Amino acid sequence: MKKCIIVSLIVYLAGCSIAQECNAQKKVPYEFPDAMSEAVRTEYIKLADKGQVLYDINCGKCHNVEVKRKLVIPDFTREQLIGYELRVSNPKHESEIPETTVTAEELGLIMTFLNYKKKNDPLMPFVPKEKHVEK
C-alpha cells in the first residue's frame, strides 16, 4: 500500500515537472511577427487564447490528428484559413458549423488562434506524456 502511494506520488511529481516543462514550452504557443508591438501582441494573445478554447469545442474533434497516441492540432495552410468561406468550402462544415453553432465573431477568434499558433515540428512529433513517465 505504502509502495503504491510512493509510486503514485513519484509519478505525480514527474507528471507535474513534465507538465511544467510543457507549460514552459506552451508559454509561447504562438508565433507573432517580430514587428508586432508588445501591446498588440498582448491583445492578440487574449484573442488567440479564446480562439483555442473555441477550436477545441468546435473543430478539434474532427481536425486533430493522432501522432504517437497524442492528439495534435494540425498546421492549416493560409488557403485553408479563409474565414466565412469555410462554412461552404468543406461540405461537413455546412451542417457542423453554421452560424447558429459558431458565430462569425467566434470564427474570427478561431482563425486568429490558428494563424498565430506555433507550427508543429515535422521532424520531432509531439512525444506523448506516458513515455516520459516510463523513462
Partner 1 sequence: MNKKLLLVSLAVMIVICFSFKDRIKRDTYANHYISSLNEFQSQQKVLLETIAQSSLTSNQSIEEIRTQLIATRNKLKPLDFWLRYLEPLSYKKINGPLPVEWETEVFEKFEKPYKREGAGLTLAMLYLEEPVIDKQQLLHLIQSSIDASKVYGADSITEDFKTHDHFYLCNRLFILNLAAIYTTGFECPDTERIIPELNLMLREVHHTYITFNESFADTPLSHEYLTLYQKTMDFVVAQPTDYEKFDHYTFLKDFVNPLFTLNQQLIKNYKVVSRSNVDYSLNKNAASIFDKSLYNGQNSKGIFVRVKDPAVLAEIDRIGKLLFYDPILSGNNLRSCASCHKPTQYFTDTLGTSALQFNRKDFLPRNTPSLLNVEYNHLIMMDGKHISLQDQTKGVMFEFSEMGSDEKTALKKVLDCKEYNTAFKKLLAYTPQEKEITYDHLVSAITFYYSKFSKGSAPFDNTMNENAPLKQEVKDGFNLFMSKAQCATCHFVPQFNGVKPPYVNSEFEVIGVPADTLFTKLSPDKGRYGINEAKETLHGFRTGSLRNVEHTAPYMHNGVFKNLNQVIDFYNAGGGAGRGLLVENQTLSADSLHLTGTEKRNLMAFIQSLNEEVPFEEPPLKLPASKNKLLNTRKVGGEY
| Residues at the site binding partner 1, with contacts judged by CB under 8 A | 49-51, 53-54, 57, 84-85, 87-89, 91, 94, 98-106, 108-109
Q: Nearest distance from residue 80's CB to partner 1, in Å?
A: 15
Distance (Å, whole) CA 97 – CA 103: 9
Q: Nearest distance from residue 10's CB to partner 1, in Å?
A: 32
Type and span of the H or E element at 46: helix 38-58
Q: Nearest distance from residue 110's CB to partner 1, in Å?
A: 10
- Measured from the CB atom, the residue of 83 and 125 that comes closer to partner 1 is 83
Q: Nearest distance from residue 103's CB to partner 1, in Å?
A: 5
- Measured from the CB atom, the residue of 15 and 64 that comes closer to partner 1 is 64
Of 119, 134, 103, 115, the residue nearest 52 (C-alpha): 115
Check residue 102 and give left, alpha or beta (phi > 0: left; psi -120 to 50: alpha): beta
- Measured from the CB atom, the residue of 31 and 94 that comes closer to partner 1 is 94
- Measured from the CB atom, the residue of 63 and 132 that comes closer to partner 1 is 63
DSSP single-letter state for residue 102? S
How many other C-beta atoms are found inside a 10 Å radius of the C-beta of residue 4? Answer: 8
* Residues whose CB is less than 8 angstroms from the CB of residue 102 and which lie 6 or more positions away in sequence, other chains included: 54, 58, 110
